[in-house]
Amino acid sequence: MTFKSAKDRLQERMQELSHYTKKSLGQNFLVSDQVIFKIIAAVAETKPSKLLEIGPGLGALTDLLRAEYGQYQLIELDNSLIEYWKSIGMPVLAGDALQMDWSKIDFDVLVSNLPYQISSSIVIDRSTDRNQCQSMILMFQKEVAQRIKAKHQTEDYGLLTVIAQEFWKIDIVCDAGMRDFNPAPKVNSRVLKFTRKESLISDKLDYLKFVKACFKQRRRILKSNLENSYHAAFINWVTEKKLSDKVRAEELSIDQLRDLYFYLKK
């Protein structure tokens, strides 16, 4: 099946639905065929059986994914677009993706040109919930993508980095410039592919609580961010690891933070 360009499809559908972009919903429609095809190729690599897309919008990705995988689940907040996708037979979960009961959504691969304001929350939530999602291909503001892929001992390294890298193998799919969207955002973007990996962490929410505490105040030493009951064990741990007791959370690697978590939980 052949498709018109993303720009042509966007214009036709906007006219068909008398649709206008809504800044309050973070609507920046993807119009770069090159970026779209790279995302579609990344989805294909995952071999999805139960695909889920957040924010299909006017179908930049959805038209091509639907041609390849048939009907699959969508999450959409815009009422006018909800009705459109339902009218052509697509299963739609109506509402805010951050407010959904994700334990009731059956999917193995998530794809989205994410509204920037929800991107970090989606990654953390999908990393720590019990859903069996195996892969995610997601668009981010480039600065957020850099935080996700950051190395320890850098300014970008933090809560989002640790949680994402603990539970996923993360690869860069492609970058997208401001002109690749309509309307153009004021920032550049990056698409990341997440592949679920084995983790020794069984209680993911408890680990999230721990990492949040570690990075609660970045410039404070780690000991000051931990509960008082952990201080003696923390001193023992840094002594064993030949680290300073003045170490900050951002100075510890993903492996070291996991090791500290298990040590404190003994």
1 domain residue, yes or no: no
**Do 249 and 163 reside in the same domain of the chain?**
no
d(CA 207, CA 257): 10
For 183, the domain range is: 6-196
Whether pLDDT at 18 is above 90: no
d(CA 207, CA 117): 24
Q: Which among 196, 217, 247 is the end of a domain?
A: 196
**Do 165 and 250 reside in the same domain of the chain?**
no
Answer for the pair 150, 156: CB distance below 8 angstroms, yes or no.
yes
Which range, of 14-18, 32-36, 44-48, averages the lowest pLDDT?
A: 14-18
Tell me the pLDDT tens digit for each residue of 46-92: 999 999 999 999 999 999 999 999 999 999 999 889 999 999 999 99
**Do 157 and 208 reside in the same domain of the chain?**
no
Kindly state the percentage of the chain with pLDDT values over 70. 96
**Do 93 and 210 reside in the same domain of the chain?**
no
Tell me the pLDDT tens digit for each residue of 180-227: 998 899 999 999 999 999 999 999 999 999 999 999 998 899 999 999
The pLDDT assigned to 4 comes to: 85
Q: For residue 240, what is the domain's CATH number?
A: 1.10.8.100
Q: For residue 175, what is the domain's CATH number?
A: 3.40.50.150
Q: In the chain, what's the furthest Cα-to-Cα distance?
A: 67
192 domain residue, yes or no: yes
**Do 32 and 56 reside in the same domain of the chain?**
yes
Q: Which among 196, 225, 248 is the end of a domain?
A: 196
| pTM summary value | 0.94
Tell me the pLDDT tens digit for each residue of 109-137: 999 998 888 999 999 999 999 888 999 99
**Do 187 and 224 reside in the same domain of the chain?**
no
